[in-house]
């Protein structure tokens, strides 16, 4: 058992009815929201940010011991806090806070994914990793150093993120063309964490969303690197038209 699971499991087990996850129905037929309590060992406040990233603008803070309503959750930067290490961020009324300082009763999602569009799903696709696991892989493999296996191999990297040895497509653009229409969201820039964002122009380009409008892409900040970027940066820096996003469908196993 991980330190995170042990810490949360022991600390939270006896107080399910008190401070954790009072999950409530928002309205008939809608998804659930959740509640939790902010805790820090030092008693310091937790910073609220404009997005699910430590580099996002600080927009406020929440005092330790404060109960918060979590309207939705998303994946962002990996942070280590009181309740272990996680890339889950909680959306509260004023912005985003890392889930590692919020007492929710679970190491996993307790509220719906943020965003009004479809969520990422591997249902029926046979991917070795889930959307969450692929996001974690991408974040954990970020590097500003040259890696030969990353240089000019964006589609290959997407396959690696989802646990395949390769994507099965010859180029990112061919991958886009091969994805069945039911898994495509042409022109939609609201890409859920785990979704694959595609661009045209030559062999094209593809990158994985980590939520909050952020993506992990190779080469954009140096050959063979794997770093955070945005759709706007790819379009402006490389001049590649944006095609849309797809669920993690790979030609490798289809």
Rounded CA separation 38/81 (Å): 11
Please report, in tens digits, the pLDDT of each residue of the chain (254 residues total).
443 444 444 343 333 333 333 333 333 333 456 899 999 999 999 999 998 999 888 999 999 999 999 988 888 899 999 999 999 999 998 999 999 999 998 888 888 777 657 888 999 999 999 999 999 999 999 999 999 999 999 999 999 999 999 999 999 999 999 999 999 999 999 898 999 999 999 999 999 999 889 999 999 999 999 999 999 999 999 999 999 999 999 999 99
Cα(197)–Cα(174) distance, integer angstroms: 13
pTM of the predicted protein model = 0.61
Q: What is the pLDDT of residue 28?
A: 30
Ranges assigned E (strand) in 39-83 = 46-49, 58-62, 67-70, 72-81
Instruction: Look at residue 234 in the predicted model and tell me its pLDDT.
Output: 98
pLDDT of residue 108: 83
Which CA distances in Å does 23 have to 10, 74, 112? 20, 17, 11
Are residues 105 and 20 in contact, defined by beta-carbon separation less than 8 angstroms? yes
pLDDT at 27: 31
Beta carbons within 8 Å of 38's beta carbon, 6+ residues apart:
46, 62, 63, 64, 65, 66, 67, 68, 97, 101, 102, 103
Among 131, 135, 152, 151, CA closest to 204: 152
Cα 33 to its chain centre, rounded Å, is 19
The rounded Cα 239 to chain-centroid distance in angstroms is 25
Q: What are phi and psi of 48, to 5 degrees?
A: -100, 130
Whole-number pLDDT of residue 32: 52
User: Measured between alpha carbons, how far is 173 from 171 in angstroms, rounded to an integer?
Assistant: 5
What's the pLDDT at 107? 84
């Amino acid at each position: 058992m991980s330190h995170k699971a042990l810490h949360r499991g022991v600390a939270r087990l006896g107080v399910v009815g008190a401070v954790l996850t009072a999950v409530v129905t928002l309205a008939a037929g809608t998804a659930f929201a959740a509640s939790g309590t902010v805790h820090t060992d030092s008693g310091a406040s937790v910073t609220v940010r404009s997005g699910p990233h430590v580099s996002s603008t600080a927009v406020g803070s929440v005092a330790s011991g404060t109960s918060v309503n979590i309207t939705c959750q998303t994946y962002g930067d990996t942070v280590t806090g009181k309740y272990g290490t996680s890339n889950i961020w909680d959306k509260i009324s004023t912005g985003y806070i890392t889930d590692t300082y919020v007492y929710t009763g679970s190491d996993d999602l307790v509220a719906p994914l943020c965003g009004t569009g479809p969520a990422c799903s591997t249902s029926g696709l046979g991917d070795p990793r889930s959307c969450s696991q692929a996001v974690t892989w991408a974040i954990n493999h970020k590097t500003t150093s040259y890696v030969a296996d990353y240089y000019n191999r964006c589609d290959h990297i997407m396959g690696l993120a989802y646990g395949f040895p390769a994507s099965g497509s010859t180029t990112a653009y061919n991958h886009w063309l091969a994805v069945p229409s039911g898994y495509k969201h042409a022109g939609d820039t609201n890409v859920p964490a785990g979704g694959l964002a595609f661009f045209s122009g030559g062999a094209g380009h593809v990158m994985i969303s980590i939520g909050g409008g952020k993506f992990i892409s190779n080469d954009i900040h140096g050959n063979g690197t794997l770093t955070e970027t945005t759709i706007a940066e790819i379009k402006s820096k490389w001049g590649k038209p944006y095609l849309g996003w797809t669920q993690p469908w790979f030609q490798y196993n289809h």
